[in-house]
Structure 1
Amino acid sequence: MINAQNIRQGLILAAAFSFGVACMLPLLVIQPELGMAQPIVELFDSAAVKDRQILLLESIWSLWSTGERILALVIGVCALLLPILKFLLLYLEHAKSSIRVPVKLRDMISKLAMAEVFLIALILIVIKEMPGGTEVQLAAGFYWFLTSVVVAIFI
């Protein structure tokens, strides 16, 4: 029998699944455009003008491996660990479990887990403001991420 508890658990699992898929797919595709300098740059460094896919896990690893460990940790915690913890706490709260989740803890983690929304918005704003007409296209991972956020709102 379908009841409100089962629907909430299904929504939690759907949001968590969508988030997991979003972490493995490209969020953004950046198409550099350097204006009048593009032919010259292509001549010397063709890789500089190739489309670039932005994946969350790959970006965190790239930051870590280039020595930006504090930034990698902050993004890793805000964009990976906290959302996973939020979904786990929500599931435990709605499952028939003897574990009781403190409401204040859940609310705090939910608020902090929204930091990844801010990070993606900030990246989009910065890239859109780049000179020369650089294009940013939303990729499949972004839509999976958006699905996760929207579904989580209804939990």
Structure 2
Amino acid sequence: MRYANLSLLILFPIAWFAPLLRAGLLPLFGLSEISVISGLQSLWGTDAALALVVTFCAIFAPLLKVVGVALVDFNLLSERVAPALLILGKLAMADVFLIALYIVVVKGVGMAHVEVAWGLYLFTGCILAALLFSFRA
């Protein structure tokens, strides 16, 4: 399990650049692929405060959690940090809910077309795996 947790250090960056969804005004026009990184780039241009929160939840919280669990696994950090690691996992999960909410809202409006891409499943799987690994830490 130690090495499965460490594999997330490779899988998370892949998930950040992978297409989460494809969105466009109408299905007739081309769909733009949106990844965590491209979404953050757009957000930084429009709302820096929200971008800071999303960057922490999407990038830093998952990485800190994986590194924290690895340090506990290798007895380099006390197991008393487990509650803090669970909080980091919940913050990371907030991003998945935000993306899902965006998809539901856009599909509900009916003026745009959204397709879920493979990166959303990878990103969600990484977040859930990190959360699962922390339960045993």
TM-score of the aligned structures, taking structure 1 as reference length: 0.74
TM-aligned CA deviation for residue 153 of structure 1: 4.6
Secondary structure class of the residue paired with 1:26 = coil
Give yes or no for contact 2:86–2:131 (8 Å, CA) kept in 1: no
User: Matched residues in 2 for 1:84 and 1:149: separation?
Assistant: 10
Residue 89 (structure 2) aligned to one of 110, 113, 128: 110
Structure 1, unmatched stretches of 5+, are 1-7, 39-48
TM-aligned CA deviation for residue 17 of structure 1: 2.4
Q: Which residue of 2 aligns with 1:144?
A: 122
Give yes or no for contact 2:61–2:91 (8 Å, CA) kept in 1: yes
- Corresponding letter in the other structure for 1:65: G
Q: Please tell me whether Structure 1 or Structure 2 has the larger radius of gyration of its CA atoms.
A: 1
Residues 104 and 146 (structure 1), Cα distance of their counterparts in 2 relative to 1, 3 Å cut: closer
Q: Which residue of 2 aligns with 1:58?
A: 38
User: Matched residues in 1 for 2:127 and 2:36: separation?
Assistant: 16
TM-score of the aligned structures, taking structure 2 as reference length: 0.83
Identity of aligned residues (%): 30
TM-aligned CA deviation for residue 141 of structure 1: 1.4
Q: Which residue of 1 aligns with 2:19?
A: 26
Residue 48 (structure 2) aligned to one of 69, 75, 81: 69
Residue 64 (structure 2) aligned to one of 76, 85, 89: 85
User: Matched residues in 1 for 2:128 and 2:91: separation?
Assistant: 16
Give yes or no for contact 1:22–1:140 (8 Å, CA) kept in 2: no
Deviant stretches of 4+, over 4 Å: none
Q: Superposition RMSD on alpha carbons, in Å?
A: 2.0
User: Matched residues in 2 for 1:135 and 1:150: separation?
Assistant: 27
User: Matched residues in 2 for 1:135 and 1:10: separation?
Assistant: 39
Residues 83 and 76 (structure 1), Cα distance of their counterparts in 2 relative to 1, 3 Å cut: same
1:95-145 superposed Cα distances (whole Å, 9 cap, x missing partner):
242x2252222222122221112111111111211224x332222311221
